[in-house]
Amino acid sequence: MDWKIELLAVPVTDIDRSKAFYERLGFVTDIDTRVDDAIRFVQLTPPGSACSISLDLNLGSRTKPGELDGIQVVVADADAALQQLRDAGVDARGVEEYPWGRFAYFTDPDGNGWALQELPDYPVVQPS
């Protein structure tokens, strides 16, 4: 049986501000609907990704805005990704190099942390 991660909740304080931020990065808005006066469900997908994010405001996440750290996204070129972030007005940092890849980093308006990883040129190990 396959287990697929398809949605990650990102805790935010302001849906409109966060939605505009992620759209500036090229995320596509899949759903933006108000459930009731307290709940609005917004789902966005990064370009080329099979996994989306939901902007979590009053949806029940135990994680507070700014506490989420370590969302990792694979990119083809960390230098180009860093430049794309900076061109979008994001205060991004990097590129840091490790044996397991090259990384650029940024945070969203609430302080949630993201890492963009360019994978090293090594064979991918298939599960047995």
List the beta bridge partners of residue 71. Answer: 114
What's the number of domains the chain is made of? 1
Phi, psi (degrees; rounded to nearest 5) at 92: -100, 160
Task: Report the alpha-carbon distance of residue 4 to residue 26 in Å, rounded.
Answer: 23
Q: Does the residue 94 lie in any domain?
A: yes
Low-confidence ranges of the chain (pLDDT < 70): 60-61, 124
List, for residues 8-20, the tens digit of each pLDDT value.
999 999 999 999 9
The whole domain housing 75 covers 7-118
CATH code of the domain covering residue 73: 3.10.180.10
- At 39 the pLDDT is 85
Task: Report the alpha-carbon distance of residue 2 to residue 128 in Å, rounded.
Answer: 14
3-state secondary structure of 61: coil
How would you classify residue 33: left for phi > 0, otherwise alpha for psi between -120 and 50, otherwise beta?
Answer: beta
Q: Does the residue 1 lie in any domain?
A: no
Q: Does the residue 126 lie in any domain?
A: no
Task: Report the alpha-carbon distance of residue 97 to residue 50 in Å, rounded.
Answer: 26
| Cα 68 versus chain centre, distance | 10
List, for residues 65-83, the tens digit of each pLDDT value.
999 998 999 999 999 999 9
